[in-house]
Structure 1
Amino acid sequence: MISDVLAEAKEKMQKAVEVAKDDFATVRTGRANPALFQKILVEYYGTPTPLGQMASLVNQEARTLLITPFDKSALKDIEKALAGAAHLGASVGNDGNVIRATLPELTEDRRKEYVKIVRDKAEQARVAIRNIRRKAKDDLDGLKEVGEDEVARAEKELDGTTKQHVDAIDEALKRKEAELLEV
């Protein structure tokens, strides 16, 4: 029972770290990265659909991304969604078959703004991990048929797992900040 609670908490914490890393990838650096555009929602036949499911995204140059829709009728909708993604600041051009999204050079102020965004995402991930820890601790405290010593050992292990995952988020944050501030 204790091992089930700990395994579930560890699995959920690992997923929180992965989500944080995915979120970090959506914050751009000096290069165009298809991950920046993957989660942009496009209104497609009345349903918000992630761009990654509607088109292939390919780096054409360092700051230019080539977006080829699978359905050519969605070209205007994709272009409209990209124009609405103001946080990217991309200039969008459409030649009738593909869309070229060109990202501007990053200024120092913009880089610092991105660092704040990444720090906020990291804090959200830390909060998620602490919430997972709190729930697991409540589950451990709720176990009636195990001894207090076993629960105390399990809580220590839970704290170690929590620290390990928070450290993983901090490390990913540090790498992303360095990447963002690199000129």
Structure 2
Amino acid sequence: MIKDILNVANEKMVKTTVVLKKELASLKAGRANPAILDKIEVEYYGTVTPISQLANISVPEPRILAIQPWDKNSIKDIEKAILKSDLGINPNNDGEMIRLIIPELTEETRKDLVKNIKKDGEECKVAIRSIRRDCNDKIKSLKKQGDISEDEIKKGEEEIQRKTDSFIKEVDKLVENKEKEIMAI
């Protein structure tokens, strides 16, 4: 019973950190990273489709993203979607491919990004602690039912605390690494 509760909690904590990893990967940090296009969707023949399903995305130079659509007719739609997004980059369209030149980040922009990263990290930690609380509540409900001994409950609570501490350390490491990446000039 406790093992099942711990396994569910572990799965939820893993999913929470995966969401943070995706969020951090999608931030532009002054370098070309195809993940910054993950959130942008294109209206293509009446269907909303991610850019990655319409084109090949490559990084020919450290600060340039090249988007090569498989269907040349979709190039205008992709360009329009990039302009509408919150990316803040003007696409260069040569009729064959779209190039995105990632601008250097100013000091102020870097600090704002770091502030947002820390906020995202804190939200992730709050979610992990919430999962811990729910898990502890379920373990305590087993005690009320009389199905489990005090020692097993204590071990279960200690195990969920170890998992929580481990995931919070991982979140701190992710945030710290992204902060270093952004602040590096």
| Same fold, judged at TM 0.5 (above) | yes
Distance in 2, Cα, partners of 1:114 & 1:9: 30
- The question of 1:162 aligning with 2:161 is answered no
1:173 aligns with 2:175: yes
Contact 1:42 1:50 in 2 (8 A): yes
Cross-structure match for 1:112: 111
Q: Percent same amino acid at aligned positions?
A: 43
Q: How many residues align?
A: 182
Question: 1:70, CA displacement in angstroms?
Answer: 2.6
Q: Counterparts of 2:69 and 2:126 in 1: how far apart (Å)?
A: 37
Tell me the residue number matched to 1:90: 89
> Distance between the aligned counterparts of 1:134 and 1:53, measured in 2?
39
- Residues 141-150 or 102-111, more deviating: 141-150
Query: Within 1, Cα distance between the matches of 2:106 and 2:47?
Result: 35
Could you say which residue in structure 2 is the equivalent of 1:74? 74
Structure whose alpha-carbon radius of gyration is higher: 2
Distance 1:28 1:76 in 2: 23
**TM-score, with structure 2 as normaliser:** 0.91
> CA 1:136–1:57 in 2, change beyond 3 Å: closer, same or farther?
same
User: Does the CA contact (< 8 Å) of 1:44 and 1:74 recur in 2?
Assistant: yes
Q: What pairs up with 1:117-156 in 2 under 5 angstroms? A: 117-143=116-142, 144=145, 145-156=147-158
Aligned residue number for residue 65 of structure 1: 65
How far apart, in 1, do the equivalents of 2:93 and 2:106 lie?
A: 26
Aligned residue identity for 1:43:
E
Paired AA for residue 169 in structure 1:
V
Higher relative contact order (CA 8 A, sep 6+): 1
Report the Cα distance in structure 2 between the residues aligned to 1:135 and 1:38, rounded to whole angstroms. 32
Moved more, 96-105 or 136-145: 136-145
Contact 1:27–1:36 (CA<8 Å) still a contact in 2?
Answer: yes
1:91 is paired with a residue whose SS is: coil
| Larger displacement relative to structure 2 (51-60 or 36-45) | 36-45
> What is the TM-score normalised by the length of structure 1?
0.92
Deviation at residue 73 of structure 1 after TM alignment? 2.5
After TM superposition, the structure 1 stretch with the greater mean CA deviation from structure 2, 123-132 or 46-55, is 46-55
Q: Distance in 1 between the 2:164 and 2:136 partners? A: 11
Q: Which residue of 2 aligns with 1:36?
A: 36
Where does structure 2 lack aligned partners over 5 or more consecutive residues? none
- Please give the alpha-carbon distance, in whole angstroms, between the structure 2 residues aligned to 1:128 and 1:55: 35
Note if contact 1:89-1:103 (Cα within 8 Å) is conserved in structure 2. Answer: no
How big is the alpha-carbon RMSD for the aligned residues of Structure 1 and Structure 2? Answer: 1.5
Give structure 1 stretches of 5+ with no counterpart: none
